[in-house]
Amino acid sequence: MRALLQRVKRAAVRVGGNLISEIGPGVLVLLGVGANEDEAVCCRLAAQVAKLRIFDDTAGKMNLSLLEVGGAALVVPQFTLYADTTRGLRPFFGAACEPGRARELYERFIAEVARLGVETRTGSFGARMDVELVNDGPVTIMLEASGDRG
């Protein structure tokens, strides 16, 4: 499972021109689900997102977590995080999870982030979305967890 985190001042998702979700300060999480993921991976990655110290403390050092600053998470499904371009110029997505299972794990990830105490908003699984954000920093971090790791 891969999560591309962007620390944001605000972020929003629109589908068909209609606003479906928005947050103020927090993180935009672009979430990709790999073919061999499970609920345990969701829980590990959700905890890392909630507890990763990427927000500034009073001294200006990245020392505070999303939970500590009371920020929100906007979680957007992003299967293209599993693009393989080693075979040429057209991305291959064979390592991405099939859509039905990916939706289940996407929803499980969202539920776990919320259970940990983070205000959570979502994109629209399977929809073509317009994602708007004001990056804060910018701070962008790739996280990865898999079922292969204990």
Instruction: Give me the catalytic one of 6, 55, 58, 78.
Output: 78
Residue 109, Cα to own-chain centre: how many angstroms? 9
- Per the annotation, the verdict on 80 as an active-site residue is yes
Identify whether 78 is a catalytic site residue: yes
Query: Is residue 86 annotated as a catalytic residue, yes or no?
Result: no
DSSP-assigned beta bridge partners for residue 141: 5
Residue in 6, 48, 55, 80 annotated catalytic: 80
Identify which of 144, 6, 133 has the alpha carbon closest to the alpha carbon of residue 81.
Answer: 144
Q: Which of 6, 48, 58, 79 is catalytic?
A: 79
* Residue 131: count of CB within 10 angstroms of its CB: 16
- Kindly state the helix (H) or strand (E) to which residue 42 belongs, with its residue range: helix 39-51
Q: Are 75 and 120 in contact (CB under 8 A)?
A: yes
Q: Tell me, what amino acid is at 5?
A: L
- Residues with a catalytic annotation lie at 78-80
